């Protein structure tokens, strides 16, 4: 059934486990994520990024409504999250499109502008029933300094700055930089588990790990054990989908029906989802 992100996060925090969030590009992604989560028996977040909305011609509703229907039909709780939103018009469209949460990404702005824009977005979100995630921009940086994504390799979030940012903005979840980076195609990231523990102790809202595709299973489990809650995974699905499609096309050069090659791609994504959802939810914090 369709669930609310805030409830799934609260359940994960209470159970001292992680909550997987997978990025949707096409309908097949949404179907694979729901099937994989059902196979693993775990709740899951379907997240659509502003980039993915761009792929659909800038139209939010077709893919959002498809995701809402997939969520409603699922045998596990599934929530809808709008990911990496910079466009305020898109954020404003989220509640009516079925989203219960969004990530407002002002990390490209200098710190004081990030705080101001994020606080305004959080205020709007709370008045419209939306749970808001955000991330710090330049970690340890000064106002006016060149922005550095919290998920640039080498970036780290300072626990005191993180606590102040949450207090100043009123956000409900915080993406932090602890060693992962976006769009890695090899699982070679190593995380700073001590820092995760210090962040979890300092920050009163659930912590979010972006760029989790590049994080090996053991590191993911250890991150959850150290206090990470929402685990964002995108690239790993495409690393499952595309080779499966390519293999089918290579083995059947005369194929024209997309169902013939999309199905193995979708099944490969579902298997990856089931595996990663199991890793993220099986590791409890002590």
Distance of closest approach, residue 272 Cβ to ligand G3H, in angstroms: 11
Distance of closest approach, residue 234 Cβ to Zn ion, in angstroms: 7
In the chain, the DSSP E strands lie at: 19-23, 44-49, 78-85, 101-104, 131-135, 173-175, 207-209, 228-233
Instruction: List the single partner that 6 binds among Zn ion, ligand G3H, none, CB under 5 to 8 Å by kind.
Output: none
Distance of closest approach, residue 183 Cβ to ligand G3H, in angstroms: 5
Q: Which is nearer to ligand G3H, 29 or 210 (CB)?
A: 210
Q: Which is nearer to ligand G3H, 42 or 212 (CB)?
A: 212
CA angle (151, 156, 158) in 5-degree steps: 130
Q: Which is nearer to Zn ion, 131 or 210 (CB)?
A: 210
Size of the site for Zn ion (CB under 5 A): 1
Give CA separation, 3 vs 71, 99, 127, 196, in Å: 8, 10, 19, 27
C-alpha span between 248 and 245 (Å, rounded): 5
Question: Which residues lie near ligand G3H (CB under 6 A)?
Answer: 23, 83-84, 182-184, 210-214, 232-236
Sign of the torsion angle spanned by Cα atoms 273, 83, 129, 60:
negative
- Using CB under 5 A as the binding rule, the residues of this chain from 229 to 248 that contact Zn ion are none
C-alpha span between 64 and 186 (Å, rounded): 30
Q: Which is nearer to ligand G3H, 190 or 235 (CB)?
A: 235
Distance of closest approach, residue 33 Cβ to Zn ion, in angstroms: 16
198 belongs to the binding site for Zn ion (CB under 5 A): no
Q: Which is nearer to Zn ion, 211 or 227 (CB)?
A: 211
Per CB under 5 A, the list member of 210, 228, 239, 261 interacting with Zn ion is: 210
Q: Are 192 and 155 in contact (CB under 8 A)?
A: no
Residues with Cβ within 8 Å of residue 14, at least 6 apart in sequence: none
Give CA separation, 102 vs 65, 173, 181, 249, 280, in Å: 16, 10, 20, 37, 21
What is the number of the residue whose Cβ is closest to ligand G3H? Answer: 234
What is the number of the residue whose Cβ is closest to Zn ion? Answer: 210
| Helix, coil or strand: residue 256 | coil
Q: Is 143 a catalytic residue?
A: no
* Residue of 39, 83, 89, 217 marked active site: 83
Distance of closest approach, residue 139 Cβ to Zn ion, in angstroms: 15
The residues of the shown chain that bind Zn ion, judged by CB under 5 A, are 210
Q: Which residues are catalytic?
A: 83
């Amino acid at each position: 059934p369709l669930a609310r992100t805030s409830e799934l996060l609260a359940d994960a925090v209470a159970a001292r486990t992680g909550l997987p969030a997978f990025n949707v590009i096409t309908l097949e992604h949404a179907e694979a994520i729901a099937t994989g989560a059902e196979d693993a028996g775990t709740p899951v977040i379907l997240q659509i990024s502003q980039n993915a909305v761009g792929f659909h011609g800038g139209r939010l509703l077709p893919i959002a409504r498809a995701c809402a229907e997939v969520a409603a039909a699922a045998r596990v709780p599934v929530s809808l999250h709008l990911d990496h939103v910079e466009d305020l018009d898109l954020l404003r469209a989220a509640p009516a499109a079925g989203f219960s949460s969004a990530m407002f990404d002002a990390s490209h702005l200098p710190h004081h502008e990030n705080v101001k824009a994020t606080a305004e977005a959080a205020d709007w979100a709370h008045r419209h029933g939306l749970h808001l995630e955000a991330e710090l921009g330049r970690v340890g940086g000064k106002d006016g300094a060149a922005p550095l994504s919290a998920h640039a390799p080498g970036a780290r979030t300072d626990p005191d700055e993180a606590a102040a940012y949450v207090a100043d903005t009123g956000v409900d979840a915080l993406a932090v930089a602890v060693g992962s980076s976006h769009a890695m195609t090899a699982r070679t990231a190593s995380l700073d588990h001590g820092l995760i523990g210090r962040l979890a102790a300092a920050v009163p809202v659930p912590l979010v790990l972006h760029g989790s595709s590049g994080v090996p299973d053991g590191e993911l489990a250890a991150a959850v054990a150290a206090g990470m809650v929402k685990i964002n995974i995108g690239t790993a699905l495409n690393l499952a989908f595309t080779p499966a499609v390519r293999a089918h096309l290579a083995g059947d050069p005369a194929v024209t029906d997309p169902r013939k090659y999309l199905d193995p791609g979708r099944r490969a994504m579902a298997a990856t989802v089931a595996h990663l959802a199991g890793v993220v939810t099986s590791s409890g914090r002590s």
